[in-house]
Structure 1
Amino acid sequence: MARATVFLALCFAAAQSAGAVTFAVPSKAGTGGYAYAPLDPAPIGISFEFFAFPSYVANVTGTNQCLANWKDLTGVWPPIRIGGTTQDRAAYDATTPAYVVYSVAKAADAPATLTFGPKFMTLAGTYAGTVVVGLNRGKNNIENTIAAAKVAVAEIPNLLAIELGNEPEYWVKDKQPIASGTWNPATDAASQNDWNIRVGNAVGKMNIIQAGNWNDAPPAWGAAQLIATENTTVKQYVRHFAHHNYPGGSVQKLMTHPTTVKSIQVFDADIAAVRRTGREYVFGETNSVSGGGAAGVSPTFGAALWTMDYSLRAAFNNMSRTYFHHGTVGNCQYCFWGRRTMGAPYYGAHAAVALMAGASYLTALDTGKTNYAGYASFDASGTPLRVLLYNSDYFSGSGSRTSQSFTLTGLTPTATALRAKRLTAASASSRADQGNDISFGGQYFRNVTCAAGGTETYETAAVAGGQATFSLQATEALLVYLQ
């Protein structure tokens, strides 16, 4: 596909400096009055809808390369989770030679029922990164689930956890058998505790369960209420807690920085409750708009910038990992990639991975109350590595495109220049799957293969007196390299 050259010029006009947003870069993690979060080696991962997982691996060429691109940045394969609504429609069949067996009226549909065999787990076991597998609790057939769990443990060397049931708060509506009587947070908690013990005991593994997995917001459906019901026995089987989240809204609302900050703060008390137990908290399934995404929102560059900002703010708020969900192949507006085209959100996730790659700590340099954001990452010794700047002012593509200056202070006195890579597109509505130009540091990701194309481009900014100023257009981000 022919691609136009994307405008990458970095302006340093003195006239803009008077209105610059100023961020002081700490000389060391733990200083400067900022809060700091420890980082997982691979904080951004992918969630695959249960029935679609084999297709993503076997039939979608770009899957391995898209994941490998992040491994090349971090040195660690990104984590994956296999689950979703169809995990609670799935029954294990030890006799089937197929990965999955189901029928649908249209290829874009998700199956109402399905079976899966041992090869499903063997396929998951070929992945070099950590794997979370979601199994059926809704059908209330624990013997079948235990049989599947035993195969998962045997066939997946990098199995991180098993989750038992997906979004149980909806099971009454879904007419799941386990919720045929009274079903509320308390009865779900009792069910989770019972299944966690029985499955953990059956597979002979401690710290093997990903508990929670709700979508409704805490505290009603949250980790704190579940933890309060756990006895000593169940605690030894729970590795970490997960929640799901789909903020939704228009492109402009979604990508606006203060809105993103508020959407993450909803989980602060729940995260704190889990952290007090010494366990991790993750977004086990999340993306822009539920139900596979919204056509006018999820595939856009604005959603890409949201993906970037959202995953970084989640990490800063002590979310260990964020798994972005990928649904039905060919019917997934928020997917990062598909069979034939790339999705814009992949670019935002890639920029966030680039900021956190090899880092041990992250801080937010902004208060979260304006449209202008800054994040800084630090290595294991606390030395600053990179800063990401984000102008979340909305640009629709019509009229004049505003710009905002950002000044970084506290830079190394001996530094004379900094390199930077720009994440940019023509507007918030630009879509990679429709051939619109989106680039990160002058590069794009090729359709079908997910291989990087174009020439990697670094912009240069002068440093004087320990300061450097950058200009970002509305709806743009910039990754600044401090080393």
Structure 2
Amino acid sequence: MTKDLKTAVTTALCLTAALPASGAVTFSLPSKVGTGGYAYAPLDPAPIGISFEFFAFPSYFINVTATQQCLANWKALTGVWPPIRIGGTTQDRAQYDAKTSAYVVYSVADAKDAPSVLTFGPKFMTLAGMYGGSVVVGLNRGKNNIDNTIAAAKVAVSEVKHLLAIELGNEPEYWVKDGQPITSGVNWTPATDAASQNNWNIRVGSAVDRTNIIQAGNWNDAPPKWGAAQLIATENATVKPHVRHYAHHNYPGGSIQSLMTHSTIAKNIHTFDADIAAARGVGKEYVFGETNSVSGGGAARVSPTFGAGLWTMDYALRATYNNMSRTYFHHGTVGNCQYCFWGRYSMGAPYYGAYAAVALMAGASHLTALDSGSTNYAAYATFDSRGLPLRVLLYNSDYFAGSGTRTAQSFTLTGLTSSMVRAKRLTAASATSRVDQASPPSFGGQQFDNGSCAISGTETFETTPASGGQATFSVKATEALLVYLQ
């Protein structure tokens, strides 16, 4: 069977195996960036990255074979290594020890536990410095030992070649509960945390002789109580030059269905509108410095599923569309991390969603959403350096759990300039499909091998004719389609 015939048969099977959900939804593709009344977000070269829990970072790069290849797969699409952030709860349990020859030193009763106390040495920063992409390094503020943190910051600046920023403290709103010394005898509020951040940002920035070096914020509780807008309002002319950008954490949670529903995703992202505007208003970027599906390492029945993978895709794209520069998906304890893209399971279904989002934005200069964010159906378009349409991603977030009839939604794109377009389909048997349960997704007919993250299978494009500048695509419930326009 020829490749073209095989593709045609595959496409026909996809169309006949599902019943139409409703009439086609139509999206008008703008001819160029800045036209059509859409909002356009400028794109970072690599808008999607990975956050590694502080104590686990060395293990991910030394002991987990898939790490380098999973990151390299994205580099192959974008031309640059994805950004990483090293931090999390254990960064505020970690003290720098200049004398240790180990990357990190700790003990736990069970390998699945995170340490309550740990130290790290210069080799930790040397390892971070070997990475080819940008690096955010999180350091301890909770212990209130600024001299120790400054010593670590100086090593970070000298050893981490692609150091983007230093983060001083992780989720400080929880420090009273955690018994962190910096809150002792203090009425710890957003205002006192802001004063602390400003002081530390100035002292650490001055000690390493760097401006534009601090990732500020780093809360998890939703704004406006804990957020960039309230922090920015407290900053004076001395602290502002040290801040590179502002970060927030976010773990939406919920069932698979609620998590992956497009309108719910859009609503969740809108929580950060005022914070993003405040950061942009002072000329700074805003990022999700740590995020994933469900807090605490994920939920076993939600986080490893294909539905969570589709959430990963749509969530990253909606965040980017709303002017978040980068989104760092958190990876926790190796071997005890339900939402990890790799490490807990040989491969996690969410990696597929992230890969599709990277593929949409790779090499693009701008992104827009063609939909309102109020329904189950999403459409995103990216544009090349000339401002011309590059790719479109269509997403049907109707929920399909694997039984009964799997409906399909027709998407019509207008404004096309070619007579034929190609597309790759992101699909799986159902929203509950999991790699570790022998039901992996596929993207364009390809998969990521367990253990190595190498791409396997024959790359498959579907072809759709366009007539009169428009084409119609069928996307099944719980599925996405990436359309290539060039």
With the shorter chain as reference, the TM-score category is: over 0.9
- Whether 1:109 and 2:113 are equivalent positions in the alignment is yes
How far, CA to CA, are the matches of 1:157 and 1:253 in structure 2?
41
Amino acid at match of 1:317: N
Q: Among 350, 360, 364, which residue is 2:365 paired with?
A: 360
How far, CA to CA, are the matches of 1:145 and 1:152 in structure 2?
10
Paired residues of 2:219 and 2:247 also in contact (CA < 8 A): yes
How far, CA to CA, are the matches of 1:29 and 1:17 in structure 2?
32
Q: CA deviation at 1:263?
A: 0.3
Q: Among 18, 24, 48, which residue is 2:28 paired with?
A: 24
Q: Among 377, 381, 384, which residue is 2:386 paired with?
A: 381
Which residue pairs with 1:462 in the alignment?
465
* Aligned residue runs from structure 1 range 115-154, under 5 A: 115-154=119-158
Amino acid at match of 2:48: I
Which residue pairs with 1:316 in the alignment?
321
How far, CA to CA, are the matches of 1:355 and 1:349 in structure 2?
10
Q: CA deviation at 1:339?
A: 6.5
Paired residues of 1:388 and 1:480 also in contact (CA < 8 A): yes
Q: CA deviation at 1:434?
A: 2.1
- Percent of aligned pairs with the same amino acid: 78
- Whether 1:225 and 2:230 are equivalent positions in the alignment is yes
SS in 1 for 2:433: coil
Paired residues of 1:59 and 1:339 also in contact (CA < 8 A): no
TM-score (norm. length: structure 1): 0.97
Q: CA deviation at 1:480?
A: 0.1
- Whether 1:420 and 2:430 are equivalent positions in the alignment is no
Q: Among 354, 362, 382, which residue is 1:349 paired with?
A: 354
How far, CA to CA, are the matches of 1:417 and 1:353 in structure 2?
23
Q: CA deviation at 1:381?
A: 1.4
Paired residues of 1:397 and 1:426 also in contact (CA < 8 A): yes
Which residue pairs with 2:209 in the alignment?
204
Q: Give the superposed CA RMSD.
A: 1.5
Which residue pairs with 1:394 in the alignment?
399
Which residue pairs with 2:95 in the alignment?
91
Which residue pairs with 1:474 in the alignment?
477
How far, CA to CA, are the matches of 1:38 and 1:435 in structure 2?
39
Which residue pairs with 2:240 in the alignment?
235
Which residue pairs with 1:439 in the alignment?
442
Which residue pairs with 2:197 in the alignment?
192
Q: CA deviation at 1:432?
A: 1.2
- Whether 1:291 and 2:296 are equivalent positions in the alignment is yes
- Whether 1:170 and 2:158 are equivalent positions in the alignment is no
Paired residues of 1:339 and 1:448 also in contact (CA < 8 A): no
Q: CA deviation at 1:147?
A: 0.3
SS in 2 for 1:291: coil
Deviations 1:164-191 (A, max 9, x none): 0000000000000001121000000000
How far, CA to CA, are the matches of 1:240 and 1:437 in structure 2?
37
Deviations 1:196-249 (A, max 9, x none): 000000001110000000000111100011011111010010000000000000
How far, CA to CA, are the matches of 1:154 and 1:81 in structure 2?
17
Q: Which runs of 5+ in 1 are unaligned?
A: none
Which residue pairs with 1:274 in the alignment?
279
Q: CA deviation at 1:17?
A: 11
How far, CA to CA, are the matches of 1:149 and 1:136 in structure 2?
10
Runs of 4+ in structure 1 over 6 Å off:
none
Which residue pairs with 2:3 in the alignment?
none
How far, CA to CA, are the matches of 2:123 and 2:238 in structure 1?
32
Q: Among 35, 38, 47, which residue is 2:39 paired with?
A: 35
Q: CA deviation at 1:340?
A: 5.9
Q: CA deviation at 1:8?
A: 4.7
Paired residues of 2:86 and 2:137 also in contact (CA < 8 A): yes
How far, CA to CA, are the matches of 1:16 and 1:459 in structure 2?
19
Deviations 1:373-430 (A, max 9, x none): 0000001211000000000000010111011100000101xx1110000000000000
Which residue pairs with 1:9 in the alignment?
11
Paired residues of 2:427 and 2:480 also in contact (CA < 8 A): yes
Q: CA deviation at 1:440?
A: 0.2
Which residue pairs with 1:405 in the alignment?
410
How far, CA to CA, are the matches of 1:139 and 1:446 in structure 2?
42
Q: Among 45, 67, 70, which residue is 2:71 paired with?
A: 67
Paired residues of 1:342 and 1:450 also in contact (CA < 8 A): yes
SS in 2 for 1:172: helix
Q: CA deviation at 1:18?
A: 7.7
How far, CA to CA, are the matches of 1:147 and 1:340 in structure 2?
37
How far, CA to CA, are the matches of 2:235 and 2:193 in structure 1?
12
Q: CA deviation at 1:12?
A: 6.6
- Whether 1:51 and 2:55 are equivalent positions in the alignment is yes
Change (3 A) 1:411 1:12: farther
Paired residues of 1:293 and 1:333 also in contact (CA < 8 A): yes
- Whether 1:430 and 2:433 are equivalent positions in the alignment is yes
Paired residues of 2:336 and 2:344 also in contact (CA < 8 A): no
TM-score (norm. length: structure 2): 0.96
How far, CA to CA, are the matches of 1:115 and 1:220 in structure 2?
32
Deviations 1:17-40 (A, max 9, x none): 981010111110110111111010
How far, CA to CA, are the matches of 1:310 and 1:230 in structure 2?
30
Q: CA deviation at 1:90?
A: 0.2
How far, CA to CA, are the matches of 2:324 and 2:345 in structure 1?
32
How far, CA to CA, are the matches of 1:366 and 1:41 in structure 2?
24
Amino acid at match of 2:76: D
